Amino acid sequence: TQLLEQSPQFLSIQEGENLTVYCNSSSVFSSLQWYRQEPGEGPVLLVTVVTGGEVKKLKRLTFQFGDARKDSSLHITAAQPGDTGLYLCAGANNNAGNMLTFGGGTRLMVKP
């Protein structure tokens, strides 16, 4: 069974601060995806990383895939209240029909 551990589970910071969310596994994934979920809605895809060591940037968000494709991180620079939400990482394996294995999520609150 593949598992993804996310840390921290909760994060409450002030506007303007930086933060990093981690997603770790002992398993290798074909790709890893990061989602953001608002209350009462489904997860919305932020980014997919595929290559070990890959770094992708989305405005103030930086995503990194570990060299061994077992772990990933999400770094947010100068967080804003609009960044508040549940951040989920999910690993996919092409051998398993791209079934997604989700981490437990990081609930981020950015206070103005």
Partner 1 sequence: ETGVTQSPTHLIKTRGQQVTLRCSSQSGHNTVSWYQQALGQGPQFIFQYYREEENGRGNFPPRFSGLQFPNYSSELNVNALELDDSALYLCASTRAIAGGTDTQYFGPGTRLTVL
Measured CA to CA in angstroms, residue 57 lies from 5, 61, 98 at distances of 22, 6, 24
2-31 positions binding partner 1, by CB under 8 A: 4, 6, 30
Binding to partner 1 by residue 92, rule CB under 8 A?
yes
Write down the least CB distance from residue 84 to partner 1, Å.
16
Instruction: Tell me the window of 33-41, 51-59, 60-68, 76-84 that interacts with partner 1 (CB under 8 A).
Output: 33-41
Write down the least CB distance from residue 47 to partner 1, Å.
10
- Residue for token digits 């999400």? 74
The tokens for 87 are 């951040």
47-86 positions binding partner 1, by CB under 8 A: 48
Instruction: Tell me the window of 1-9, 12-20, 56-64, 68-76 that interacts with partner 1 (CB under 8 A).
Output: 1-9
Measured CA to CA in angstroms, residue 87 lies from 27, 35, 41 at distances of 20, 6, 13
| 68-88 exposure pattern, b = at least 16 Cβ within 10 A, e = fewer | ebbbbbbbbeebeeebbbbbb
Write down the least CB distance from residue 106 to partner 1, Å.
10
Please report, as ranges, the residues that interact with partner 1 according to CB under 8 A: 1, 4, 6, 30, 33, 35, 40-45, 48, 88, 90, 92-105
